[in-house]
């Protein structure tokens, strides 16, 4: 048995094509394009690449991007002042503050300064709380939303399925659990203190792994036929590895995402989806 590969690049492209139509309709109706402000502080190489890719993706779907690249020594108060200006700027529909921020800036304070209605990353406590309450009109965190989009792309009926999440972060683990509860899955969240982890993961019809450890999930920890979503990005010797041992798991699972080319492209696509959603 060999799993069906969930092609994140293709699925993300299909979503972008739909978003291009939606963004065009919004622009035509109000006579100006949807606007996304992207704020980058410092010279983190990975962050600069991510921002470049996000801006390029905006252009592809007709979203106008406003780039604000600030010096690494920018103060927290100056950054918040910029965010407040963007909050009141009617040409800006969404605001993205690229993480991580320099150590002298408190991320929670900065993210909390973003208008929740423009919080396209879905990190504001108001959006996180709305997601917990099952409110459909909130802006969900992009990576978890992308994971669920990939899971649903398989066409498998999710009602009553046992979903196991490996990782309890506020960015992936917890929100993806909430989203899968909304799909009527039975959800178990596991973490570094979970006993007999393999026994739990082997019971999963849907396995979402976001723990940040290369090849942490081996093939014998996967239930035959399961949907496996690998959120991990671990770089070693200029190669990328997931949190799941792909070579082993692909022989057991029913569906599986590769690394790279799985969850990554969907994260940017869901960012665009959230940006369009602010205008609908």
Write down the architecture of domain 31-116 according to CATH: 3-Layer(aba) Sandwich (3.40)
Give tens-digit pLDDT for 68-99: 999 999 999 999 999 999 999 999 999 999 99
Question: pLDDT tier at 280 (50, 70, 90 boundaries)?
Answer: confident
Q: Which segments of the chain belong to CATH 3.40.50.10860?
A: 31-116
Write out pLDDT tens, residues 128-160. Answer: 999 999 998 899 999 999 999 999 999 999 999
pLDDT recorded at residue 137:
87
pLDDT of the residue at 238: 86
Annotated catalytic residue: which of 22, 93, 119, 121?
121
Q: Check pLDDT > 80 for residue 270.
A: yes
Whether 54 sits among the annotated catalytic residues: the reply is: yes
pLDDT digits (tens, 9 = 90+) for 215-260: 999 999 999 999 999 999 999 988 999 999 999 999 999 999 999 9
| Annotated catalytic residue, options 22, 54, 118, 223 | 54
Residue 1 pLDDT exceeds 80 = no
Give ranges for CATH 3.40.50.720 in the chain.
141-264
Name the pTM for this structure.
0.95
Question: Residue 93 catalytic?
Answer: no
Q: Decide if 121 is catalytic.
A: yes
Q: Spell 247-276 as b/e; 16+ CB within 10 A means b.
A: ebbbebbbbbbbbebbbbbbbbbbbbbbbb
% of the chain with per-residue pLDDT over 90: 96
Contact 206, 180 (CB under 8 A): yes
- How far is Cα 1 from Cα 126, in angstroms, rounded to an integer? 44
d(CA 97, CA 145): 18
Average pLDDT over the chain, rounded to an integer: 96
Asked: is 141-264 a CATH 3.40.1080.10 domain? The reply is no
Q: Go through the chain and tell me how many residues it has.
A: 280
Q: Which of 22, 93, 98, 230 is catalytic?
A: 98
pLDDT, position 49: 92
């Amino acid at each position: 048995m060999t799993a069906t590969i969930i092609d994140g690049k293709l699925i993300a492209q299909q979503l972008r094509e739909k978003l291009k139509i939606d963004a065009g309709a919004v622009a035509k109706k109000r006579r100006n394009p949807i606007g996304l402000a992207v704020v980058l502080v410092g010279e983190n190489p990975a962050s600069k690449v991510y921002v470049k890719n996000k801006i390029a993706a905006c252009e592809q779907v007709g979203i106008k991007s406003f780039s604000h690249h600030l010096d690494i020594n920018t103060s927290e108060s100056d950054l918040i002042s910029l965010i407040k200006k963007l909050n009141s700027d009617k040409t800006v529909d969404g605001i993205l503050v690229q993480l991580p921020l320099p150590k002298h800036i408190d991320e929670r304070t900065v993210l909390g300064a973003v208008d929740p209605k423009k919080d396209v990353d879905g990190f504001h406590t108001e959006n996180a709380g709305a997601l917990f309450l099952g409110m459909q009109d909130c802006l969900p965190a992009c990576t978890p939303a992308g994971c669920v989009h990939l899971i649903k792309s398989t066409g498998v009926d999710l009602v009553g399925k046992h979903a196991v999440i490996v990782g309890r972060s506020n960015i992936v683990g917890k929100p993806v659990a909430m989203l899968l509860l909304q799909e009527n899955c039975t959800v178990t969240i596991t973490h570094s203190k979970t006993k007999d982890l393999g026994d739990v993961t082997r019971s999963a019809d849907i396995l979402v792994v976001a723990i940040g450890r290369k090849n942490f999930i081996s093939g014998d920890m996967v239930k035959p036929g399961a949907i496996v979503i690998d959120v991990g990005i671990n770089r070693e010797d200029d190669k990328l590895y997931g949190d799941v041992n792909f070579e082993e798991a692909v022989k057991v699972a029913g569906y599986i995402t590769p690394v790279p080319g799985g969850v990554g492209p969907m994260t940017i696509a869901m960012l665009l989806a959230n940006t369009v959603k602010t205008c609908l």
